Structure 1
Amino acid sequence: MTTSKRWIGWWLMVVMIAPAIARSESASEQLAAAKAQVQSGAYDQAEVALKLLLAGESKVAASIALGRCYLETGRYEAAKTALESVKDESRSNVDWHIWSARLAETLGDYEGAIESARHAMGIDRNSCVARLLLAQNLEIVGKSQEALQEYEWFDRLVKHRLPIDPDNLVAAGTGFYRYSVLTQNSNLVQRTRHVLQKMYQKAYQMLDPKYWPAHLAVADLLAEKFSLDEAADDYRAVLNINTNAVAAHVGLGWIARDQWRFEDVDRHAKDALDINTNSVDALVLLSASRMLERRYTLADGFAQRALAINPNSIDALAYATSAKLALFDEAAADVYVKRADAINPNSGRFHEIVAQTLSDRRQYPQSEVAFLKAIEYEPSSAMARAELGMLYMQWGDEEKARVHLDAAWEIDAFNARTKYSLDLLDKLVAYARLETEHFDVRCEKGLDEVIAASSAKYLESIYDEICKRFDLTLDRRTIVEIFPAHDDFGVRVTGQPWINTGGACTGWVIGVIAPRFGMGKAPFHLPSVLRHEFVHTVTLAATNNRIPHWMTEGLAVLHEDEPRSFGWKEDLAERIRNDDLAPLNEVDWGFMRPKRPNDRAMAYAQSEWMCEFLMDRFGDGVINAMLRDSREGMSQTGLFAKHAKMTPEEFDDAFRAWAIEQATPWGFDLTPPEDVETLKALALETPDDASVLARLAMACMEAGDLDEATTHANASLAIDAKDNALAHEVLMRVYANKLHHAEDAEQSKEWQQTVIDHAREVLIADPKHRKARMVIAKYHLAEKKDDAALPHLLDLMELYPVDPMVPYELARIYTSMGDDERALPMWKACRQEFSNNREIPAAIAAIHRRAGRLAEACDWYERALQIDPLSPGIGEAYANVLMQMGRTDDAIARYQLLCRIDPEEARFQTACALALFKAGKESEAINYAKRAVALDPKSDAKSLLD
């Protein structure tokens, strides 16, 4: 709230409230009501009421409460003034010293906070709140033994009696828990539960239902344990009582950061800063979020803002250090290290934050050193040990990971993230391992070993090619782990059971999901994923993990050796048309915080395109040259200045011009959308011009205003209903959009007919209109009228052969007609666009088989099996072709795999028995024959038993 608005509000409330107070309440009642307002977060109302009490007998208590009010809203000088105004009268007032300590701590005057807390304890030795403040500030400045002595007091207290007021009960719980952590108490789990259930929960369940600090304490403790959903519930419980509790907004922001929901981080931080514009905690949250987003300059900016308020904030100093290191300014980072050391030369917290940010940047050796230092300075930190363990997992050293994760669990068996990782390590120990010259491929024992074997073979086949491309020889094997489930994959990559991708690379470790259909698993072409991830391994190794994120992604996509998809071309063209290509310095944001559904996909697509542009403009060698300088810590701006002789802004302009040249042959309309306001003005000048109204309708539709678009399109048609393709196109597209929101079948049918009617009108005016013809073709296909769709599809093949949906539908129709000759080229035309569809290579294989081209059939079945290695149907067809080719041993191996995939299918047992018999392996054949007959007494394998 601005100062002027605050004062206007203050005078209004004075006018309204003062008479009522004077009429009905004593000073003590007025004070109690005002303090309740402070506690509930009604700071503006409380400020008014408290100022009215400053001249009376409640001056001291009112000043202290007013100081708290200012402290909570970030008006620290005003808080100091309010408290100083009653300093002489408050020498024996515990609350005055407590709030003076909190103010000093907020501003980084930790020694002042210690002194004030000691004064408070001198007045009341049993004040849990004062003692907790003292212990916490002693810890901050590195006086660990003194802090431990104070925390020990809580241990003795809890064993004998508990405070009966919520403030001291929650403080006692926090002090007791911290003592248990610092002493590595063997009963930490039970003590944690005791604090949660018998102290924090008791405070709000039995003592005061509106005591939100108890909910906050629960939330903070659960968040520390990575019980994030439960923590979020308690943060929201805080806000249900006090919507202006800054700490709860910040807590929700940290949860969002841990889940990579960066838009939500910003929203929660804004909520906090709207209440307290000087919240160091909110600014530190934003700095931490920007570090994870790889927006290091912004991270530094937020850290600097925090340090301007509290120059001694350990967290802010750690993130300032981290940002400077990420920007390769080690001299500046060292300044912040020295500042932190001046406060506490043994701060485990400082080094843990720096270590985590280094780990996030995959700077594993430096991160390891920092984590070990954090553990040295704070041996009781389970979090530092757990994070170091997860670093080793990402680094590929699971033995060291186990050591540190076990140590973390020994200290704190309440941490969900540690448990996830240990559970995964237990599974990984039992994984099958296949070591080749350059790879260590691991998977769950059983059928996935088939996938592992084919993966290892494929990876070895591309190893030399990829390493040569980037002029690098790797000095260790790459670990490839194939997971049966997304949960385990997510823990492997992030430490938490969620990640929305099929493959990931942390450097020397590649993780992928087993490409099996069913059970919620999505299909994908495993070789492409493995190739993509191995390019990451090589480019990360080439740069010591310092390559710009967009570049490693772009190079990985580029080397998948798949043509650019139609969908990506269409979306890239639309980005060009709307002048919406991401600037060089912002392209990473599409990976980290996509705002639109296709932003992430477009980040991959544009990154690949930018790599192509660099090679096209400056030669293939520019990539490796940039990688070498990245390894030495050159910034992105430096890379482009040296190798492209361009600033980032100049690169953006040059890339856009090149992109337009590249996209023009694709056939999309690259004409920028027209401005709505300009066309409205033109329509007013020429109200009878149907073409202007049609253009206005199109502009409104593209701006997202469908109602306005409909109005103007109908107005255009009222003037000229013939040869008005644009107006009909607008209405066709508007009603096509409405179809997604139809409320019932009747409305859907009506709108569908409207779409078709306008599409037909468009084709009358413009027979070569691709979108209208596609609409009609899709309509007939949806109605199962292939005969009606066929002429439109054939026209589309002539008009616009690059759209893969057209050859796909033609291939399907021709196949259903038994016309293999015409189906085959159509299947091949759409195969690369639908590279994750196993049915397309299988259909091509079947055509070759029917034509007697067995070698070609064999090749295409193998391609289908790359997408679904365990498909019974495709595997059987493949094995049958192998038998026809006389490759009996290969066929037997496939039949045996089919018997493992589905041991209850008699057909597989029969085929295997007959193949074995043909190969002269009679004893094995008999065993399979017996199983076949047991499953199907009529099995052809029965003859082998007779």
Structure 2
Amino acid sequence: MFLCCVNANPARLQSASEKTDSLDVKELLKSAYEHQQHGRYEESREVYDQAAKQLGEITPQTAEANLKLQQGLIELDRLTGKTSAAIKRLEAAIKQTPDQPLLHAVGARLTYETGEYNKAHQYVARALALDSDQPLAHLIQAHLLTDAGKINEANEGYRWFVRYYNRAQPEDAETLLQIAEGATQYARWNSVSQIFTFVINTVCPDALKADPLAWQASYISGSILQEKYNRPQAADEFTAALKINPRAAEVYVALAFSAIESHDFDLAVKMINRALEINPRSIDALLTRCDLELINGQYQQALKTAQSAADINARSQLVLARLAACYLLLDGVPARESLAELFNADEDSETKTTSSRFTKLTVDLLKQNPKPGYFLYELAQLMEMKRRFVFAEFAYLKTISLMPQLSGPKSSLGMLYMQMGKTELAQQTLDEAFKSDPYHVRVSNMRKVLGVLESYGAIVTDHFVIRYDSKADAILGQYMADYLEEIYPELAAQFGYEPPGKTQFEIYHDAKGLGAHQWFSARMIGLPWIQTIGASTGAVVALTSPTAMKEPFNWASVLKHELVHVFTLQQTKYKIPHWFTEALAVRSEGSARPQRFNQLLVKRVPKGEIYSLEELDGVFVRPKSSENWNFAYCQSLLCADFMVEEFGEDALKKLLTSYQNQRSTEEAVKECFQISLEEFEKRYHAYLKKITASLKGYRTESTRSFKELQKDYEADQKNLALAGEYAANLLSRRKKQEARELAQSVLSRNPAQPQAALTIARLELLSEDLPAALAIMQPALKAKTDDVELLGLAGKILLKQKQYPEALAIYEAAHKKYPYKTEWLQGLAIIYRHLTEDHKQKEALLKLVHLDPTDVDSMQELMYLYQSEGDLKETLHWGQAALQIDVLDPETHECLAETALKLKQPELAIREYRVLLQLDGKNTEARYQLANALFESGKKQEAETEVEQLLKLNPDHAAGRELKAKL
């Protein structure tokens, strides 16, 4: 018995050892998986390697553990872009266990993602032969059928996931995630919105419940929400995914896509780079980078990026769409007839032999996939983004005919029709799209816009259709229509071109609880915010109604600006660079360069912060700040001014013609001006420096911090200018006592030191002691200081004290030194009015309105000045100019009506009196004048109506009763 016991113990000890080792392997695999799901990929690989070593020492190996090991390592390779290693590892695993369906399904996914579709088919067939319910194999099979153009079979493939879920009720996270992906695709194709809700609210949460580390569940939910433009909830889901796995490359790509849609392109670049750091072979990241390069007009670079993606998967419809977009933008877009021939041609037709890169790519694709819906849909979106509307429309329509089950192309086509001003087609298309996808936020918003437009009135002229809120903007709409027709001949002559058809202008007002600007934004992008107050697609113009804005703007300038875009974009078939169409549009407004532009020139040009022409286009699309955006406009305008000064009056027309002939900027500059683009920019930058040097009175912001200023002062306390600056900074930080003591110390040594005097003056004003504040500044004023702040404060005090002659000296001197600053002109206009120097007042006002085309008060003042002088034509001019800012001002209309009568323009007078009565129906004198003008114009019946109304309001109106007797 002893020997038996001795012989038996080793066996029992070996069994216990194996059991312990198996337990260790299980724990190691669990730990490796946790590392992997948390994005700790290096640590995960180390632990998997430990598990592999441990597993190799166990006899026999457990099949389940080995499968988890191989599956984990393959997925780790896949997530980090080591596709070749993943495939080799897979092939070795299959040799070891050839009858494992999951491995064949994983092989199908790997080869599908690398474009090896024949191998992927083989893996799918083997996986399903071993397990007819293998979810991953079914998913890849459906994808392969889609890419072969077998849409009905693919649809059944995606439908399988819905049926399988209902039949098997799986609970493991991996299967639930695959069901979420397949069922969502079925929902997209068949407009089953309930499935989207079910996936987001049930399937993905169940997957997370089964596996709290399944970050992919949050990613899938976020992707669905992002697709429906539900950005806030999508962002929450992506954040949740990154909380689990901060190195999930897919999520960073999704965030990059969101950033592009929000025009935060710097963030998009950051997200793309992050994704590619994690997975250098992420096709989605490369394609998103390609999209960004296309947005920026970097077509050659975009092509290189697309080719990098094609090196990974040359069969992907999404990759081929980017290649095709690059070819079209670089080589030119075929005519619609050629496109129709290409997609309808037989294999033996002549179209098949066409040598263009786009045609060859398309022909090769059609041989493999007769229904490349995703290729066409992606390509249409890219071309729409580049304003190639005709091509985009063709591609959307073709996609819908090939894959009518896709809701995306219908939504995009409806939005495109809105861009093109085809609202009836848009209404029909968006209604159909909404039935297919009621969760699409932009579609929903655009349908609401169409609902608002339906209630709008329309003014149709020879060249325009003006849509407007007939209750709120009836007056504005008519004035806009007249103005557009007035400027149309001028622009047609200037550009030597006329847009075909009538251009539609839409003026949005407050409606249905939303503000005018929200409706305008929704009209342009389907979302509630856009930076500008007016925008043009090249086919349609929309703007926020000035009557709904708190801050006034010159609506005539905005209309002209946007109409120039219509001319230039259509004339060049949208080939004109963004900077040049903006240069022409801003220049057309005819106003002086805005003060904000001058301030930016003074701030940036001396530091060499000047954009190249290529950079300018990018700034318009992706401004980091409103300052960058304004400087892009400023530089564009000055580039146009430079061309005229350097190369003659016809320089702009020459360049526009070159763009019309589809030249690049480099080619166009060489063709028009016989110099290289490099030389052109060198001269242009010199011109900017010359302009900047001429500007006076614009202070550059100090880059020195308060601490640096303090340090400099303490190191050089005898420097009175530095001490004065430091005192002023102390006061701005509410250190009043320190500021006072230092400023007084400075003034005791130099009473004319401006910043110290300004500091004490401001302290005196805290107690409203104006004389004391003014007295402390007198030495600096007598010394003829150039300090803008001190001059401004002294001038304001003198105006407040009505010491006009004394104020005049300051304002005239300051204006002479700083002619572009409107504050001096505003003060001069006030002073001249009080001194009854009408001629000088008029001069100041004329300069003011040139510098500030929104200064309606100055325009009205000019109107009354000219009226008092009896200059009726100028009275009329400035009254009409004032209406281009405030069209609802009754006094302006009254003045215009009276002036029109004196000028013997009864039709204009009648119109102005009618408008005046719309604004002030109880104005009996205006009604009498209207009735009298109608009578004298031979419109007796209309005159009688007005007289009756007048006498109802005032039965004792003598002139009215007399007029009635004549009738």
Determine if the TM-score, normalized by the shorter chain, exceeds 0.5.
Answer: yes
- For residues 612 and 284 of structure 2, the distance between their equivalents in structure 1, rounded to whole angstroms, comes to 31
* 564-573 or 640-649, which deviates more: 564-573
1:302 to 305, 313, 316: 305
The answer to whether the 8 A contact 2:724-2:756 is kept is no
Tell whether 2:123 aligns with 1:116.
Answer: yes
- Helix, strand or coil at the partner of 1:480: strand
* 26-35 or 826-835, which deviates more: 826-835
Q: Write the mapping of 1:81-120 to structure 2, written as runs, cut at 5 A.
A: 81-120=88-127
How far residue 356 of structure 1 moved from its aligned partner, in angstroms, is: 1.6
- For residues 606 and 343 of structure 1, the distance between their equivalents in structure 2, rounded to whole angstroms, comes to 49
- For residues 818 and 457 of structure 1, the distance between their equivalents in structure 2, rounded to whole angstroms, comes to 37
Q: Write the mapping of 1:17-416 to structure 2, written as runs, cut at 5 A.
A: 26-57=24-55, 58-160=65-167, 162-182=169-189, 184-185=190-191, 188-204=192-208, 206-328=209-331, 331-338=356-363, 340-341=365-366, 344-416=369-441
The answer to whether the 8 A contact 2:928-2:946 is kept is no
For residues 273-308 of structure 1, give each alpha carbon's deviation from its aligned partner in whole angstroms, at most 9, with x where no partner exists: 232232211111111122223332332232233223
- Helix, strand or coil at the partner of 2:331: coil
- For residues 634 and 493 of structure 1, the distance between their equivalents in structure 2, rounded to whole angstroms, comes to 29
The answer to whether the 8 A contact 1:340-1:350 is kept is no
**Partner of residue 845, structure 2:** 827
- For residues 176 and 942 of structure 1, the distance between their equivalents in structure 2, rounded to whole angstroms, comes to 81
Tell whether 2:540 aligns with 1:509.
Answer: yes
Q: 1:25 to 1:114 in 2, by over 3 A?
A: same
- Helix, strand or coil at the partner of 1:507: coil
- Helix, strand or coil at the partner of 1:615: helix
Tell whether 2:678 aligns with 1:649.
Answer: yes
- Helix, strand or coil at the partner of 2:241: helix
- Helix, strand or coil at the partner of 1:504: strand
- For residues 833 and 246 of structure 2, the distance between their equivalents in structure 1, rounded to whole angstroms, comes to 64
2:788 to 768, 773, 777: 773
- For residues 210 and 751 of structure 1, the distance between their equivalents in structure 2, rounded to whole angstroms, comes to 64
Q: 1:324 to 1:746 in 2, by over 3 A?
A: farther
* 145-154 or 879-888, which deviates more: 879-888
Q: 1:113 to 1:468 in 2, by over 3 A?
A: same
Tell whether 2:881 aligns with 1:863.
Answer: yes
- 2:186 alignment partner AA: Y
- For residues 748 and 411 of structure 1, the distance between their equivalents in structure 2, rounded to whole angstroms, comes to 69
The answer to whether the 8 A contact 1:94-1:120 is kept is yes
**Partner of residue 708, structure 1:** 708
- For residues 301 and 962 of structure 2, the distance between their equivalents in structure 1, rounded to whole angstroms, comes to 77
For residues 886-925 of structure 1, give each alpha carbon's deviation from its aligned partner in whole angstroms, at most 9, with x where no partner exists: 9887566545545545xxx77x454555545666746535
The answer to whether the 8 A contact 2:866-2:874 is kept is yes
For residues 723-746 of structure 1, give each alpha carbon's deviation from its aligned partner in whole angstroms, at most 9, with x where no partner exists: xx4x3686488669xx4xx58999
For residues 99-129 of structure 1, give each alpha carbon's deviation from its aligned partner in whole angstroms, at most 9, with x where no partner exists: 3333323323234334334433334333333
For residues 301-347 of structure 1, give each alpha carbon's deviation from its aligned partner in whole angstroms, at most 9, with x where no partner exists: 32233223333332222122212322236734445435544653421
* 753-762 or 104-113, which deviates more: 753-762
- For residues 769 and 324 of structure 1, the distance between their equivalents in structure 2, rounded to whole angstroms, comes to 65
- 2:231 alignment partner AA: L
The answer to whether the 8 A contact 2:739-2:759 is kept is no
For residues 510-530 of structure 1, give each alpha carbon's deviation from its aligned partner in whole angstroms, at most 9, with x where no partner exists: 2222211xx554321111111
- For residues 961 and 248 of structure 2, the distance between their equivalents in structure 1, rounded to whole angstroms, comes to 78
- For residues 572 and 254 of structure 1, the distance between their equivalents in structure 2, rounded to whole angstroms, comes to 34
- For residues 846 and 328 of structure 1, the distance between their equivalents in structure 2, rounded to whole angstroms, comes to 59
- For residues 752 and 436 of structure 1, the distance between their equivalents in structure 2, rounded to whole angstroms, comes to 66
Q: 1:923 to 1:622 in 2, by over 3 A?
A: closer
- For residues 216 and 739 of structure 2, the distance between their equivalents in structure 1, rounded to whole angstroms, comes to 53
Q: 1:208 to 1:55 in 2, by over 3 A?
A: closer
- 2:507 alignment partner AA: I
* 76-85 or 315-324, which deviates more: 76-85
- For residues 783 and 242 of structure 1, the distance between their equivalents in structure 2, rounded to whole angstroms, comes to 67
- For residues 808 and 714 of structure 2, the distance between their equivalents in structure 1, rounded to whole angstroms, comes to 32
1:637 to 666, 669, 682: 666
**Partner of residue 545, structure 1:** 574
Q: Write the mapping of 1:5-20 to structure 2, written as runs, cut at 5 A.
A: none
Name the TM-score, length of structure 2 as normaliser: 0.82
- 1:191 alignment partner AA: I
The answer to whether the 8 A contact 1:912-1:925 is kept is no
Q: 1:164 to 1:654 in 2, by over 3 A?
A: same
- 1:254 alignment partner AA: F
For residues 653-709 of structure 1, give each alpha carbon's deviation from its aligned partner in whole angstroms, at most 9, with x where no partner exists: 121233334444444799xxxxxxxxxxxxxxxxxxxxxxxxxxx9xx855555334
The answer to whether the 8 A contact 2:253-2:271 is kept is yes
- 1:379 alignment partner AA: P
Q: 1:630 to 1:859 in 2, by over 3 A?
A: closer
How far residue 785 of structure 1 moved from its aligned partner, in angstroms, is: 4.6
- For residues 817 and 131 of structure 1, the distance between their equivalents in structure 2, rounded to whole angstroms, comes to 90
- Helix, strand or coil at the partner of 1:249: helix
The answer to whether the 8 A contact 2:306-2:319 is kept is yes
The answer to whether the 8 A contact 1:132-1:151 is kept is yes
- 2:239 alignment partner AA: R
The answer to whether the 8 A contact 1:318-1:336 is kept is no
- Helix, strand or coil at the partner of 2:93: coil
1:490 to 521, 524, 544: 521
- For residues 749 and 408 of structure 1, the distance between their equivalents in structure 2, rounded to whole angstroms, comes to 70
For residues 338-395 of structure 1, give each alpha carbon's deviation from its aligned partner in whole angstroms, at most 9, with x where no partner exists: 5544653421111112212222222222222222222222211221122122222222
Name the TM-score, length of structure 1 as normaliser: 0.83
The answer to whether the 8 A contact 1:328-1:633 is kept is no
- 1:843 alignment partner AA: E
- For residues 221 and 962 of structure 2, the distance between their equivalents in structure 1, rounded to whole angstroms, comes to 72
The answer to whether the 8 A contact 1:763-1:772 is kept is no
Q: 1:440 to 1:29 in 2, by over 3 A?
A: same
- For residues 891 and 748 of structure 1, the distance between their equivalents in structure 2, rounded to whole angstroms, comes to 62
Q: Which one has a bigger Cα radius of gyration?
A: 2
Tell whether 2:589 aligns with 1:560.
Answer: yes
- Helix, strand or coil at the partner of 1:433: strand
Q: What percentage of residue pairs aligned between the two structures are identical?
A: 26
- 1:358 alignment partner AA: M
How far residue 65 of structure 1 moved from its aligned partner, in angstroms, is: 0.6
**Partner of residue 456, structure 1:** 481
How far residue 265 of structure 1 moved from its aligned partner, in angstroms, is: 1.2
The answer to whether the 8 A contact 1:327-1:635 is kept is no
**Partner of residue 476, structure 1:** 501
For residues 61-83 of structure 1, give each alpha carbon's deviation from its aligned partner in whole angstroms, at most 9, with x where no partner exists: 22321221121122223333433
- For residues 645 and 948 of structure 2, the distance between their equivalents in structure 1, rounded to whole angstroms, comes to 63
- For residues 442 and 577 of structure 1, the distance between their equivalents in structure 2, rounded to whole angstroms, comes to 46
- 2:540 alignment partner AA: V
**Superposition RMSD in Å:** 3.9
Aligned residues: 873
The answer to whether the 8 A contact 1:770-1:799 is kept is no
How far residue 581 of structure 1 moved from its aligned partner, in angstroms, is: 2.1
Q: 1:412 to 1:710 in 2, by over 3 A?
A: same
- For residues 891 and 532 of structure 1, the distance between their equivalents in structure 2, rounded to whole angstroms, comes to 29
Q: Write the mapping of 1:686-835 to structure 2, written as runs, cut at 5 A.
A: 702-703=702-703, 705-716=705-716, 718-721=717-720, 725=721, 727=722, 731=726, 739=732, 742=733, 756-757=755-756, 772-778=787-793, 781=796, 785=800, 792-812=810-830, 815=833, 823-835=841-853
The answer to whether the 8 A contact 1:106-1:310 is kept is yes
How far residue 49 of structure 1 moved from its aligned partner, in angstroms, is: 0.9
Q: 1:749 to 1:60 in 2, by over 3 A?
A: farther
- For residues 210 and 486 of structure 1, the distance between their equivalents in structure 2, rounded to whole angstroms, comes to 44
* 924-933 or 649-658, which deviates more: 924-933
- Helix, strand or coil at the partner of 2:576: coil
**Partner of residue 345, structure 2:** none
